[in-house]
Amino acid sequence: MTSQQRKNLERFSPLLLLIAIVVVWELITVGFGVSEFIFPSPSRIWEQTLEHKATIMGHAWRTFWVTMAGFGLAIVVGVLLGFLIGSSRLAYAAVYPLMTAFNALPKAAFVPILVVWFGIGVGPAILTAFLISFFPIMVNIATGLATLEPELEDVLRVLGAKRWDVLTKVGLPRSMPYFFGSLKVAITLAFVGTTVSEMTASNEGIGYLLISAGSSMQMGLAFSGLLVVGVMAMAMYELFSFIEKHTTGWAHRGSQGG
């Protein structure tokens, strides 16, 4: 195998694995005659997906924009809080333990409370997506800022640099790779948050679709819903991965630079 071929194989390996899984799945479900109400075959899921295309798209769009709204909120709050606790030792000491405790709470448990406050609909879903996804962003920004090399700080302070100079010239650019890394994690979490919230507190969205499909024994449709969430999360992950590579290439040296 030439190195070009090996590279291609590596590049398409996720796709090959996916195809292999689908084929095995199909063979098992068809071969053993598994009931569609227990575990539908991939071909049956696909059929149902096409059949309910319009419905699924509607719910998917709802889940998508709700997730992006929550995620946008998470970026703003995460960056601000991360900046605060990363640049002040006192804030770090005060906020960090509380934040860790908060992060340990299951976010699904917040949904009933949010429903009381905001009613059924968009509010709880956006806020659940936000609550679940701001933490990694905050932690990563804070880490990037707090782990500055002391020598570098001295070099700048000798020149009369203020704290603010050190933060903007060095701290923030330095934490950008951490930031983009955290976005990749946070976006997938945000989809989890939205879907979980929609399952109990919404009449729209993929989460709602999953529940209603399940209760009417339309297993194919339920699996379609899962498929759509997976595809959206993966697409966003790849998008942020792409942005990361093109904005903070310096952090991924090793690959031939220049």
154 is a site residue for another protein (CB under 8 A): yes
Residue pointed to by tokens 């292999």: 20
Q: Which one of the spans 74-82, 134-142, 153-161, 230-238 is the region binding another protein (CB under 8 A)?
A: 153-161
Q: Does 169 bind another protein (CB under 8 A)?
A: yes
CB of 140 closer than 8 Å to CB of 85: no
Q: Which residues of 226-245 are buried (b: 16+ CB within 10 A; e: fewer)?
A: ebbbeebbeebbeebeeebe
**Residue 64 CB: number of other CB atoms within 10 A?**
19
Residue 161, interface with another protein (CB under 8 A)?
yes
171-210: which residues touch another protein (CB under 8 A)?
173-174, 176
Pick 8 or 168: Cβ nearer another protein = 168
Looking at the chain, the number of H-run helices and the number of E-run strands are 11, 0
The answer to whether 245 contacts another protein (rule: CB under 8 A) is no
Q: How far is the CB of 176 from another protein (least distance, A)?
A: 8
Residue 37 engages another protein in binding (rule: CB under 8 A): no
Instruction: Identify which of residues 54 and 159 has a Cβ nearer to another protein in the complex.
Output: 159
Q: How far apart are CA 190 and CA 49, in angstroms?
A: 24
Distance (Å, rounded) from C-alpha 229 to C-alpha 235?
A: 10
* Amino acid making up residue 234: M
Helix ranges (DSSP H) in 32-106? 42-51, 53-87, 89-104
Could you say which of 104, 106, 116, 151 contacts another protein (CB under 8 A)?
151
Find the helix or strand (DSSP H, E) in which 121 lies.
none
Handedness of CA 22, 23, 26, 28 (dihedral sign): negative
The count of residues interacting with another protein (CB under 8 A) is: 23
Q: Which of 34, 95, 108, 251 binds another protein (CB under 8 A)?
A: 251
Query: In the bound complex, what is the minimum distance in angstroms from residue 178's beta carbon to another protein?
Result: 13
CB of 243 to another protein, least distance (A): 15
112 vs 173, beta carbon nearer another protein:
173
Give min distance, CB of 170 to another protein, in A: 7
Between 33 and 254, whose beta carbon lies closer to another protein? 254
**Which residue from 49, 52, 51, 46 is spatially nearest to 29, judged by alpha carbons?**
46
Q: What track of x and - describes contact with another protein for positions 121 through 150 (by CB under 8 A)?
A: ----------------------------x-
Please check whether residue 62 is in contact with residue 204, taking contact to mean a CB–CB distance below 8 angstroms: yes
Q: Which residues bind another protein (CB under 8 A)?
A: 149, 151-152, 154-161, 165, 169-170, 173-174, 176, 248, 250-251, 253, 257-258
